[in-house]
């Protein structure tokens, strides 16, 4: 009889220990999931804010565009919080933004060369600046349209601040 009581006590002790460990692992996973969701929401909020700001800088002038939050998210691996479709859509927009930024540099350099009228027998500086400026204006409009399009995505639109 005392042997069966010892077996029941041992079994009950093991069961309680197993339940405690299981509960601890479950709570730990739940806490990790909540932190992951919070990090994802914060990332999307910051990206939406950055895209809105970048769009405001596409005014017709050759302003530099600095996608710092995107670059940081890529470098830190935070993009794993997003679905592959979201990453692909954002990457396409940011590729266009970086191209527009590069073009802005070229326009500014051409404008500076024209203003300084540096002697260069191979280039008509005014024509070069004018051509680059026209292409840059078209590219800025395309970039704005892409930013507008992605900011309307359901997974990102709720993070866009209404002005």
CA distance linking residue 4 with residue 131, whole number of Å: 93
- Mean confidence (pLDDT) of the chain: 88
- Tell me, yes or no, whether 131 lies in a domain: yes
CA-based torsion, 31, 32, 36, 42: positive or negative = positive
CA-based torsion, 18, 22, 28, 32: positive or negative = positive
Q: In this structure, are residues 157 and 52 in contact, taking their beta carbons and an 8 Å threshold? A: no
- Tell me, yes or no, whether 19 lies in a domain: no
- Tell me, yes or no, whether 4 lies in a domain: no
Categorize the per-residue pLDDT at 121 as very low, low, confident or very high, splitting at 50, 70 and 90: low
- Tell me, yes or no, whether 26 lies in a domain: no
Alpha helices in 59-158 (DSSP H): 68-76, 84-116, 125-151, 154-157
- Tell me, yes or no, whether 30 lies in a domain: no
Instruction: Count structural domains, the chain.
Output: 1
- Tell me, yes or no, whether 23 lies in a domain: no
Categorize the per-residue pLDDT at 117 as very low, low, confident or very high, splitting at 50, 70 and 90: low
Quick check: 162 pLDDT over 80? no
- Tell me, yes or no, whether 36 lies in a domain: no
Cα dihedral value 116, 122, 124, 125, nearest 10: -30
**What integer pLDDT is reported at residue 81 of this predicted model?**
94
- Tell me, yes or no, whether 110 lies in a domain: yes
Residues 100-108 have a mean pLDDT of 89
User: What residues make up the domain containing 115?
Assistant: 46-157
């Amino acid at each position: 009889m005392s042997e069966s009581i010892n077996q029941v006590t041992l079994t009950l002790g093991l069961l309680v220990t197993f339940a405690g460990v299981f509960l601890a692992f479950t709570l730990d996973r739940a806490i990790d999931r909540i932190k992951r969701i919070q990090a994802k929401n914060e990332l999307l909020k910051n990206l939406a804010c950055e895209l809105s700001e970048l769009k405001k800088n596409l005014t017709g002038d050759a302003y530099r565009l600095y996608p710092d939050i995107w670059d940081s998210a890529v470098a830190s691996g935070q993009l794993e919080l997003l679905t592959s479709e979201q990453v692909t859509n954002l990457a396409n927009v940011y590729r266009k933004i970086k191209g527009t930024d590069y073009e802005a540099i070229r326009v500014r350099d051409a404008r500076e060369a024209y203003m300084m009228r540096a002697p260069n027998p191979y280039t008509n500086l005014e024509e070069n600046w004018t051509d680059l400026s026209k292409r840059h204006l078209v590219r800025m409009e395309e970039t704005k349209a892409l930013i507008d399009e992605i900011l309307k995505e359901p997974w990102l639109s709720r993070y866009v601040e209404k002005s």
